[in-house]
Structure 1
Amino acid sequence: MNILHVSPYYPSLETNHAGGVCMGKEIESLEKKNKVYVLTFVASDYDKKLAVSEEKAHRRYVVIHKWNRIAHVLLEPFLPAYFAARTSFRYAAMLIYYLKKYDIEAVHMEYSSMGQYIWLIKKIFPNVIIHLVEHDVTIQSYERKKESSKGITRWYYGRECKKIRKQEGYYCRKADQILTFNQKDCRLLKEIYKVQNVQVINPYYGIDDIYYEIPDNKRKAEYANICFLGQMGREENHLAAQRLIRIGYKVKKIIPELNIYIIGNQPSEELKKEQNEFIHITGFVEDVDEYLQKAQIAVFPLTLGAGIKVKVLRSMALGIPVITGSVGAEGIDESGEVIQLTESDEDYISNISELVRNEERCLELSYLSQEYVRRNFSWRKSEEVLQRLYERK
């Protein structure tokens, strides 16, 4: 089958954001039995360099800068700003060109923001199948932002929520099939938008069913490293990192040897100023696993965002026990079978201190976390769904 993969970010197993890696794995799986063409946006210098280095005959991209996005937001006042930032006449023209030139039979569309192109495809190519991958339920993410805001910011997010609910619902109803990365998002889409054509696949977290050996000396009580992983340019990660630092100062009084590693690209200047002898802001690193595997536990005090958190899965797959709240655990382990569910700052302080000191429990959770992810989030299951979805009838 001839498939066109469209996305708002560059899809590659080598990129530095979880969504891009997951999309790269989807393409790899689809290419096993189909001819796959890629049309994407590139929004960062890192992804542009990567796109150039990986340039292939059937991959094309449109570069968008900050000012492009601002201009499109202003020109599309009826679209949510998050969606309007990916509005592009050039992209639309290339989309039509690809569909005609390569006799595209199906479009594999990533993120709800790309749903804005569904009407164009359906109008000109009514027989083309469209599968929309909802990486998260956008309305849930914005409602959380609204609830955590005040004043004019709360008013703004309330206004955006109304537009998102309208547009995201329209895109979901127009798609032939919707894919989500967890059962909770599947239920949300059915409840909010009254759609039934939803299937669940597992997200790819960067590890192919490999058990990483956990060194015995890593879980010793004197080993007091904790870490946070995330794309620091995202608001939810920035706020969570700041919260972890505040918590860390209090834990430091209990555990003097404590070290905190904030791992991820694009940290703000505000965050960089927090660096000292025990708080380490790494910025971009070539190998995040190198830092994760030095940590005794991973802590994600998230309050914003939606959908499944790939950073939580990756930490668990590497045998790093995870402490997080309901936002970080949603779609993964909401009952707290292996994740140490925590909400308040006081409980974070208590649970971090106890787990760091409890060598036996820490080691037990390392093995349980690995097994849990291996059992419930294998990419093989996702590949089977994708293969069935694109079987020629």
Structure 2
Amino acid sequence: MRILFLTHRLPYPPNKGDKIRSYNILCYLIKNHEIYLGSLIDDKNDIQYVAQLQSQVKGFVFETIRSQIKKIFCLRSLLKKKSVSVCYFYSSRLQKKIDALFERIDFDVILCFSSPMAEYYFRSTYKNRAAKPMVRIMDLIDVDSYKWVQYAEQATGLKRLIYHYEARYLLQYEHQIAGTFDHLLLVSEQEKKIFLQELAAPNINVVTNGVNLDFFNPSYPQGYQIQKPALVFTGVMDYWPNIEGVCWFVESIFSLIRSAFPEVVFYIVGSRPAIEIKNLERTEGVVVTGFVEDVRDYLAAAAVCVVPLRIARGIQNKILEAMAMGKPVVTTPQAFEGIKAVPDEEIITAESEESFAAAVINLLKNPAQAQRIGEHARLCVEKHYSWENNLRILDKLLLEPIS
């Protein structure tokens, strides 16, 4: 089949949540289909990977956007009562390239990854000129409008007003998508439930994430020298939920752990650390690494992996990766949501500052228990989080007749 796959960011390298999912979907579809890829690039470092993607697909069109300038430009959408996210990820230059593909290729399927990419279908002058109707699939991933509701609850002042605005108008846009596309994809049953609270949509399918079980493996050598015992958090560190969660952990939980284990070190591992994250290094025992070539070096050396997110949507890949490495994970109920793991056997959940600290201290005091939970965690992801198994539903949706 000829499939047009539109992504809001380059689906490579698979080094953050959305790119991990889009890359694995791309790899799955390439095996049996003719893929044409259309992407935006908002990180200049990703330009180096264009040639690699071009070699993998039948056709590839892309455009770059300058993030800071684009954010200022998108403030105009506030006056038009339209989603800021949709404006940010829209490029008229990319639209022309996509329309040129529509003009010369009779696509069987269009698959949009993330809600703003639907705009390229809505604005296309060629979408209704095809010799046969296309199957239209939208991977919403998470319910992004609800994410903005969560942001607004944590914000104050002007930010709070803007976040409420975005939640409202992005929800309207999600409704438009649900009424247009043949199939909607969400990452978990929890996200599906949230979506159905706002709109009765019979065309929702859950396609959960996976993890590369060969890459993230307990057999990875622990050759990297870091101070121990080590607590490790991994993630892109200019992303607000990561910033908020890590700051909460350092400011409210880490001192409780150090009172029991004065030698413990907390490694914050991830690219683009915001100023709030850099400032945390003033706290004794906190190390901010910035970008690292391979997060497995730190995961392999971790005594405990912590995921203290209080704002979380969908499936947390950082949890799956740590579990795949055979590491015990302590996380919040918010970050745990959607993950098929048994609490206290395959993962530890804790909500309050005191209970979170107590859970980490208990694992540090009882390495045999920590090892057992890590081993069970690995078995859990082997059972539930194979990309190959979880993406097979796409085979059915690609062929399903259009209603």
Report the TM-score when normalising by structure 2. 0.89
Alignment of 1:196 onto 2:199 = no
Taking the aligned partners of 1:248 and 1:107, their CA distance within structure 2 comes to: 47
Deviations 1:220-260 (A, max 9, x none): xx952111111111101111121222222331121012011
Deviation at 1:47, TM superposition (A): 1.4
Taking the aligned partners of 1:154 and 1:211, their CA distance within structure 2 comes to: 41
Taking the aligned partners of 2:250 and 2:16, their CA distance within structure 1 comes to: 22
Query: Which position in structure 1 is the counterpart of 2:259?
Result: 253
Query: Which position in structure 2 is the counterpart of 1:4?
Result: 4
- Quickly say closer, same or farther: Cα 1:132–1:210, change in 2 above 3 A: same
Q: What SS is found at the alignment partner of 1:107?
A: strand
Q: Partner letter of residue 2 of structure 2?
A: N
Q: Which range moved further: 367-376 or 334-343?
A: 334-343
- Quickly say closer, same or farther: Cα 1:138–1:392, change in 2 above 3 A: closer
Deviation at 1:76, TM superposition (A): 2.9
Query: Contact 2:309 / 2:334 at 8 angstroms: preserved in 1?
Result: yes
Deviation at 1:189, TM superposition (A): 2.1
Query: Which position in structure 2 is the counterpart of 1:364?
Result: 372
Query: Which position in structure 1 is the counterpart of 2:32?
Result: 33
Query: Contact 2:187 / 2:209 at 8 angstroms: preserved in 1?
Result: yes
Q: Partner letter of residue 15 of structure 2?
A: N
Deviation at 1:51, TM superposition (A): 2.0
Deviations 1:305-340 (A, max 9, x none): 311111111111111111111211011047625221
Alignment of 1:317 onto 2:324 = yes
Taking the aligned partners of 2:82 and 2:129, their CA distance within structure 1 comes to: 22
Deviation at 1:361, TM superposition (A): 1.1
Taking the aligned partners of 2:340 and 2:185, their CA distance within structure 1 comes to: 20
Query: Which position in structure 2 is the counterpart of 1:87?
Result: 90
Query: How many pairs were matched up?
Result: 389
Deviation at 1:209, TM superposition (A): 8.8
Taking the aligned partners of 1:54 and 1:391, their CA distance within structure 2 comes to: 26
Taking the aligned partners of 1:175 and 1:106, their CA distance within structure 2 comes to: 11
Q: 1:242 aligns with which of 240, 247, 250?
A: 247
Query: Which position in structure 1 is the counterpart of 2:389?
Result: 381
Deviations 1:4-48 (A, max 9, x none): 110111112x34222112211111110111100110000112212
Query: Contact 2:137 / 2:182 at 8 angstroms: preserved in 1?
Result: yes
Q: Partner letter of residue 233 of structure 2?
A: F
Q: Which range moved further: 130-139 or 46-55?
A: 46-55
Query: Contact 1:145 / 1:157 at 8 angstroms: preserved in 2?
Result: yes
- Quickly say closer, same or farther: Cα 1:32–1:151, change in 2 above 3 A: same
Deviations 1:39-77 (A, max 9, x none): 000011221222245443622211001244225413433
Q: 1:233 aligns with which of 238, 244, 269?
A: 238
Q: What SS is found at the alignment partner of 2:280?
A: coil
Query: Which position in structure 2 is the counterpart of 1:171?
Result: 177
Query: Which position in structure 2 is the counterpart of 1:19?
Result: 18
Deviations 1:334-386 (A, max 9, x none): 76252211111111111111111111210110111111111112212223212
Q: Which range moved further: 367-376 or 273-282?
A: 273-282
Q: Which range moved further: 380-389 or 139-148?
A: 380-389
Taking the aligned partners of 1:182 and 1:2, their CA distance within structure 2 comes to: 27
Q: 1:186 aligns with which of 188, 192, 198?
A: 192
Query: Contact 2:137 / 2:181 at 8 angstroms: preserved in 1?
Result: yes
Q: What SS is found at the alignment partner of 1:274?
A: helix
Query: Which position in structure 2 is the counterpart of 1:307?
Result: 314
Q: Partner letter of residue 213 of structure 1?
A: S
Query: Contact 2:247 / 2:276 at 8 angstroms: preserved in 1?
Result: no
- Quickly say closer, same or farther: Cα 1:323–1:315, change in 2 above 3 A: same
Query: Which position in structure 2 is the counterpart of 1:349?
Result: 357
Taking the aligned partners of 1:110 and 1:54, their CA distance within structure 2 comes to: 16
Q: Partner letter of residue 385 of structure 2?
A: F
- Quickly say closer, same or farther: Cα 1:114–1:54, change in 2 above 3 A: closer
Q: 1:160 aligns with which of 140, 158, 166?
A: 166
RMSD: 2.5
- Unaligned 5+ residue runs, structure 1? none
Taking the aligned partners of 1:200 and 1:363, their CA distance within structure 2 comes to: 32
- Give the 5 Å matches for 1:103-122: 103-121=106-124, 122=127
Taking the aligned partners of 1:231 and 1:272, their CA distance within structure 2 comes to: 13
